[in-house]
A and B are shown apart, each in its own frame.
Chain A
Amino acid sequence: MADDILAALRGVVGPSNLLTGVELSPYVLEGRTPMAAAFPGSVEEVSAVLTLANDASVPVTPWGGGTAMSVGAPPTRSGIVLGLRRMNRLLEHEPGDLTATVQAGMTMRDFQAAVHARGQWLSLDPPDPGAATIGGVLSANASGARRHLYGTARDLLIGVTIVCASGAIVRGGGKVVKNVAGYDLPKLFVGAFGTLGVIVEATVKLRPKPEVETLVAARFESLKDCGLAVCAVMGSDLIPSAIDLLDGEAAAAIGLPGERPALVVGFDGLAEQVEWQRAELARLCAELGGDDLRDLPAETWARLSVAAPRALTDPVAVMRLSVLPARVTEVIERAGATARGLGLRAAFSAHAGVGSITGALARGRDAVDAVVSTLRDWRDAARAGGGHAAVEAAPLAVKELVSVWDQPGAAIRIMRRIKTQLDPKGILNPGRFVGGL
């Protein structure tokens, strides 16, 4: 049977766009090698691949740049990798409408470059833009520091084209910035990790590029003081585009001298707006014991989201904790203490204004136990902080003991029903998402 499918896939995408055997090494996930990797060149080809897979009940793993493939539970069965990299064109960009439509396989960097050339940008700054594709970023709901002001994918995606498990090609939303006709399908596919359908095209809202953008750091003696400064900034008249908090280790990882916690704040807009805000920030920080205020180079923006894992020479696990903004420092303090108590090094960074913490854990001497206990406690800490936590990266042995996703509560019933309605045979990334979806 497998040979028949391979032959049929080859017929759809052409022999040079179907990888098999040893060529599959880049697509091995958690030790599982897929049976093939197909790279369709059009929406119709994506549809044909899915139709084939669905008819044969073979699992499909949509694959963009592969930057978030470590996220999620390990695949329960191996199947076909559906690579979107050939679908990498900008389809439409009308600057006057502040919208653009793009194929899912275009990388974030290429897309931004294309719209920058006409004075605009997509206000979403996920890590690894050179590799991450639009489709992957949307599916993983990836974001960066600027989400503080500009929100996440859900706030920017206004239309999607999806190929369903059945091969049906479906459009949701539209191309206009305001639209309430029908259900908001774009929201359903953001952060669904490819378990409900394959995003093949996306229409997004753009913004005019700000005249000036700046990133400023201030240093504090303790995390607590740094947290107070976050609250002060949030309660002030400032309109920052980012409010990040970094512990001493993460601060060092973005190139700041001395291991002290840092508050990193971004501003954009007209020069005079940015200047006024910088001065006001300096005043607020001084009042709260902050010092060493300095401007950071533009490259630092991209390092903020990955500062915690980069701070460790040998990170073994990364967890993302989503908590109430006012609880960020308390959660980090507890989580850090737990790790230290178990003899592990840890580093933390947070998009503090929106309560999104990234915690990274270094490899200890005994491989698994301490990591597992720490991650369990971190999850409890996130819950105590009013939210939840997900393991973003960890060895298989750890994932087997700590569930990757948190409990979604009673809503899981609806999630299961949605999955059954949209992917009745369960071929799309089976088992990867929340609750085994």
Chain B
Amino acid sequence: MTGERKQTLRRELEAIVGRGAVLSDPEELLVYESDGLTLFRALADFVVFPRSTEHVAAIVKLADREKLPFVARGAGTGLSGGCLPSEGGLVISLMRMNRILEIDYDNQLAVVEPGLVNLHLSWAVGPRGYYYAPDPSSQQACTIGGNIANNSGGPHTLKYGVTANHVLGLEVVLPDGEVAWLGGRTRDPNGYDLAGVFVGSEGTFGIATKIVVRILKKPQAVQTVLAVFDEVTHASDAVSAVIARGLVPAAMEMIDQLTIQAVEDAFGCGYPRDAAAALLIEVDGLAAGMASQLERIVAACRECGARDVRAAKDEAERQLLWKGRKSAFGSYGRVSPAYMVMDGVIPRTRLPYVLDRVNAIVRTHGLRVGNVFHAGDGNLHPNILYDPRIPGEEARVLAAGAEIMKVCAEVGGSISGEHGIGLEKADFMPFIFSEADLELMRRLKEAFNPGGLCNPGKIFPTKKSCVEVGPVAYRPHAIEEKGLAQRF
């Protein structure tokens, strides 16, 4: 972009959002060149900070007129490069649109701006006994707008579903700058379920400027069990056994041996270091029947060969058990200079087979892997440990990652359970979708985003891109550094 054009555009953007809300110095832009997946980098021409729907609409109209690509950005905690300006242009940061506009307890909903941090909503409604259910582990930092775009999940997805199950409607600025409501406050869509389709579209259908979400009553009771196994297969069997007993726990999370040891080294949460795997199972709901649900879970785990099963006696012990699970990612730092988190989904009955394959693949590439994941959903997170200073290691990590995705595809699974496709996995889409499937998706995108200016270069396999791809030293995300979150 010529200096002159840049000056003119800067003035026009400032006329919309005011001074102090436009960045264009290369140094300032650097902060926005990556998201939580630091492997990819791309520089924007501008970063703009709107404060209202009108601002966003005016910015998008300008981009449309000038044929400038633009992309929405929340907290930048995404793990697939989704918010990168892969073809330059504008990054539209929603961080200043972070208000809760309305809380309607009678109808159990809230209307929020997209830059609101996920956890802040639960804080706001907590005193009245409510919460916002989708709980990505980045919830202290990530925004509801980003959650919408990625259809984010969390440990409690098993019982409560993902973001899509909690969104009623959205006000969006479409890629031509027009504003429209998709869905609303009531349950049944009027026409096609566009709100449902927008969720999970990774910022390629427009920019959400208001979001109507459901808020839920907090459960009366919660119980958490830790089951310890000497064989990974037994832990996998226990996952199926719990389900076969007709129980739907709120969460069922698995941690493997490497991870247990890392966690113990780092935090000492009381997991036995010699265990092959641990399962963290949580049930919530009515106080009535809680004891018998626990009994059934304990019995199922024992039957599958658990060597030890214990229920948290009080809230403090429950927190400690979860701390081990939640610090898993942070603790890899103790055992490895860097790691790369994978995200794939498999039918849960294939867990033992796939875990074996994952371990074998990583070993073949001369690397190590730690597994910590949403076992109840079959949502795997193999974390490949590596040293970026060793030439060629990063390439081996990427190769192993691609092979793991192929295994997920082979067993009838998916290449992403929650982190999205973004830039990272665009080329893997053909693992699970045919050309006809992709063509239908392209047509849908064409309906929302005919000029293609809104978040270009994502989701679909492409040849051209000016994104820089590694090798780069692993950097923990800023929120991990601050100890605010661990990577799931």
CA distance A192 to B150 in the complex (A): 24
In the complex, the chain A residue whose C-beta lies closest to that of B285 is A239
- Asked if A182 meets B441 with Cβ closer than 8 Å, knowing A270-B289, A411-B194, the reply is yes
- A61 contacts B by Cβ under 8 Å: no
Residues of A within 8 A of B184 (CB): 386-388
- A272 contacts B by Cβ under 8 Å: yes
Pick from A96, A154, A277: contact of B348, CB below 8 A.
A96
Residues of A within 8 A of B414 (CB): 174, 176, 178-181
Contact at B187–A171, with CB atoms within 8 Å? no
B403-447 contacts to A, CB under 8 A, are 412-421, 425, 429, 432-434, 436-441, 443-447
Pick from A151, A174, A180: contact of B151, CB below 8 A.
A180
Interface-side segment among B359-367, B371-379, B463-471: B371-379
B434, chain A: closest CB distance, angstroms: 7
CA distance A433 to B189 in the complex (A): 13
Q: Which of B164, B188, B247, B418 has the most CB of A within 10 A?
A: B188
Residues of B within 8 A of A188 (CB): 192-193, 196-197, 444
Contact at B191–A421, with CB atoms within 8 Å? no
- B334 contacts A by Cβ under 8 Å: no
- B217 contacts A by Cβ under 8 Å: yes
Q: Give per-residue flags for A395-422: 1 if the beta carbon is below 8 A from chain B beta carbons, else 0.
A: 0000000000111111111110110111
- B235 contacts A by Cβ under 8 Å: no
Contact at B378–A388, with CB atoms within 8 Å? no
CA distance A168 to B450 in the complex (A): 22
A280, chain B: closest CB distance, angstroms: 9
A156-215 contacts to B, CB under 8 A, are 162, 164, 168-172, 174-185, 187-188, 190-192, 196, 207-211
Residues of A within 8 A of B107 (CB): 324-326, 355, 386
Contact at A386–B191, with CB atoms within 8 Å? no
Contact at B179–A410, with CB atoms within 8 Å? yes
- A364 contacts B by Cβ under 8 Å: no
- B473 contacts A by Cβ under 8 Å: no
Pick from B161, B190, B416, B445: contact of A179, CB below 8 A.
B416
Contact at B187–A354, with CB atoms within 8 Å? yes
- A95 contacts B by Cβ under 8 Å: yes
- Asked if A99 meets B347 with Cβ closer than 8 Å, knowing A154-B196, A174-B432, the reply is yes
Contact at A237–B374, with CB atoms within 8 Å? no
Residues of A within 8 A of B153 (CB): 178
- A94 contacts B by Cβ under 8 Å: yes
Residues of B within 8 A of A421 (CB): 443-444, 446-447
- B30 contacts A by Cβ under 8 Å: no
Residues of B within 8 A of A110 (CB): none
Pick from A170, A191, A406: contact of B437, CB below 8 A.
A170
A411, chain B: closest CB distance, angstroms: 5
- B254 contacts A by Cβ under 8 Å: no
Contact at B289–A272, with CB atoms within 8 Å? yes
Residues of B within 8 A of A411 (CB): 180-182, 191, 194
- Asked if A177 meets B194 with Cβ closer than 8 Å, knowing A185-B441, A270-B293, A410-B179, the reply is no
CA distance A234 to B129 in the complex (A): 12
- A322 contacts B by Cβ under 8 Å: yes
Chain A interface size, as a band, is 35 or more
Contact at A413–B178, with CB atoms within 8 Å? yes
Contact at A181–B191, with CB atoms within 8 Å? no
- A141 contacts B by Cβ under 8 Å: yes
In the complex, the chain B residue whose C-beta lies closest to that of A171 is B437
- A275 contacts B by Cβ under 8 Å: yes
Q: Which of B151, B185, B189, B434 has the most CB of A within 10 A?
A: B189
- A314 contacts B by Cβ under 8 Å: no
Contact at B286–A276, with CB atoms within 8 Å? yes
- A289 contacts B by Cβ under 8 Å: no
Contact at A94–B193, with CB atoms within 8 Å? no
Residues of B within 8 A of A417 (CB): 446-448, 450
CA distance A150 to B439 in the complex (A): 32
Contact at A181–B415, with CB atoms within 8 Å? yes
- A103 contacts B by Cβ under 8 Å: no
List the 8 shortest-distance A-B pairs measured between CB atoms, nearest first. Answer: A187-B196, A276-B288, A387-B186, A208-B246, A410-B180, A417-B447, A326-B106, A434-B191
11 A-B residue pairings within 8 Å (CB atoms): A98-B243, A119-B246, A152-B187, A155-B161, A174-B413, A176-B346, A182-B441, A184-B201, A208-B243, A208-B248, A277-B286
Interface residues of B (CB under 8 A from A): 104-108, 150-151, 153, 157, 161-162, 164-165, 174, 178-182, 184-194, 196-197, 199-201, 217, 220, 240, 243-248, 285-286, 288-289, 292-293, 345-349, 374, 377-379, 412-421, 425, 429, 432-434, 436-441, 443-448, 450, 459
Interface residues of A (CB under 8 A from B): 94-99, 119, 141, 151-152, 154-155, 162, 164, 168-172, 174-185, 187-188, 190-192, 196, 207-211, 231, 234-235, 237, 239, 269-270, 272-273, 275-277, 320, 322-326, 354-356, 386-388, 390, 405-415, 417-418, 420-422, 433-435, 437
